[in-house]
Structure 1
C-alpha cells in the first residue's frame, strides 16, 4: 500500500478530506521532524471519517481497556477485563468489550471519550506542524466509537485544543522554545545538584540525543509536565537547550541491539552478556519495542516469546509486516525447547532461535553471526 506525501501544516486539510469522504480504517502517519528525515510514526483510527483514537501504535481491545483502567485508577480493572473478555461474543471487538465494562460500571462512555480526546490532542500536537506521509489501511479493524450513538471526535475541537496548548507551551519560551527542543545535561553544573533523584534523571535521560517529546514518551508523561519540571533546571544552568533540529546525527560507536523481555532478571542477563560489544536497548513490552525500533537504527532484535498481552510471536509478525524491518535479524528467546515452538517462530518471521537458559558466549556468537558492522569487526574477530 503506497503512502502519500503532505506538506507542512497540511495534515489538518488531509484529515478534513477523510472526514468529508466518511472514510473508515487505520491511518498511518510518518512525520518528518528535521532535515535528517527523522520519522515520528503515529496512528489515527477513523470511523465514518472522524477520528476515534490516536497513539503510537494500535492496541488490542484488552490493552486499551487496561490503559483506561490504569488512567482512571480502577483497582479491580484487571479482574473486570478478564471477566468481560470471557463473556464477550466477539473476542476482538473493542466496542463490545467496552460496552460490557461500562455495564459493569468500571467506567463511563464520557470517561472513555475524555481520555481518547486528550490522547488524540497530544498525538496531533506532535504531527500537525510537520510534513510527512500517510496511508489508510481499510483492512484493519479497531471498532472504537464513542457513546451510545457511536460517534467520533470533533476535528475542529481537537485542533482548537491543540492550538490552546500551543499558547500554553509558548509560555516556556525563550528558555524552552519548543517541544522538539533537545536538552543537554551541563556537566559543569553536576556538583551543584544536591538532589540525587534529579541528578540520576538528568544523567539517564538528558544525553543531547532525545527531544523533550522523546523524554516525555519514555516517562509516559505529558510533554508539558516535562517542560514544567525542566524549566527551573534550565534557568539554573543544569540543563542546556538546543532547538536546532538539523544537528548532525551522532556517530554510532557500537551496533545497536534491541532486547524485548518483561523479566528484569533476563534484561540484566542480556545486558551483561552483550554490552561490551553492543549497545543494548531494553523494552519490556510491544509498544515500547516498536517505538524504539522506529526511532533507533537497531541492527538486531532479541525477542522473548512468552510476554504478557502481546507475545513475542505476534510482535515478530508485526515487525515483519513493516517494510523497513523485513530484513532485520530477529532472534527468538524462549524457555521452550520444542520443535513445534521453533516452527512457530519461523512462521512468524524469526531469523533464529535461542533457548533459556543459555550460555553468554553462545548468545554472543549467535548475535555476531547476524550483525555485520565495521564498528565491531575487531571485537568479533576474537570470538
Structure 2
C-alpha cells in the first residue's frame, strides 16, 4: 500500500491498517527546507540566504493492527534523552546509537539497552514509547502533503507495549482541533519561547514559576522539548503559555527549519523586490484569477485556500496587502481579519475583504473587524488593480 497524502489522509491509512490487522511498518515522507541566513557585504547590512531541501520522514511500526512504536526517520538519541531528563537518568556519552537495534528502529533498540542495563524500568520505557507515539501522530495527522508506503513485514520485537489506533487517533484529533484555536499566536510545537517582557511576567507569576520560565524560555528549547521535560503533552504546555504569548510577554521564534511549501512561497529575490499580495479564499479559481491578474503587472501573488493554515503562513510571508474572502469553512473572513489585526505585524497592512454579495451590513462588519476595504465578486481586472494600486505603493 502506497500513495500520496493528497489522495488519502493519515487517519484513513491508520484505520485501514487497524481493520486489516496488519503487521509491518509505515513510512511517511514530507519535503522540508533548512534555511540559514548570514550577513554579507562591506557594511554588514545585507543578508545572504541559503536553502537546502531535505525530507522529513517518520516510521510507525504495527503488530496485528496495533501500534508498537513510532519515531522520526532521522534517528538520534535526543528525543529519548529529553524524556530521560524528566526522570533524571544520567546517560554516559560512550553509549553510541550505531550499534543499537535494527536499521529503522535504532532508538527502540536504545530503549532496550537502557532496560537491560537497569538504567530505566519497564514503566518508564512504556511512558517514553507512549510519548513518542503521541507526538509522532500529532505531526502526521497535521500533514496534508507528502507520500507514504506501508510494508508488510515481521513485527518489531520484542514488544514492550501495543496501542490501539482508534481511541489514540480520536484523542489526538481532538487535541489538534483545540491546537488550531491557539493560532496565530502559537503555530508549531517546534517554536522556541523567549521571555520578552520580564516586568509584566514578574508581576503576574510567583517568583519560583518566573525563575523556571526564564530558565526554559531561552530561545533554545522548543515547546516540544519543554513538554518532554515537564512530562506533559504539547497541548497542555501550549495552553499554559498562551495568555503570556497573547499579551506579548513571551515570544515564539522558529528554528532554521521551514516546510518546503513555505520556502517556495517566502523566497524573495532581494535585488528585484516585488510587492507581495496574499489571497485567502477557499475557492481555488478565485486565487488563480487573482494570480493571473496581478502577476503580469509585476506583483507577487500567492493564493492560500485553507484559512487556518493561511493564518500561520502570512506571518512568514509578510505580505504587503491581503485579500480575504468572507465566507469560508472553519474560520470566516471576519475572524481572520480580526485575528490579524490583533497582531502588531498586521495593524497597518491593508486587508481587503472579498464577498459574493454586496450588502451594507457586510461592509459595516468588515470595517468593525479592521478591514481596509471591500471588493464584490465577481470583479474585473480593472477593479482589482485599481484597489490594489490605491493601497500599496510600488517598489
TM tier relative to shorter chain = 0.3 to 0.5
- TM-score, normalised by the number of residues in structure 2: 0.40
Which structure has the highest strand share of the two? Answer: 2
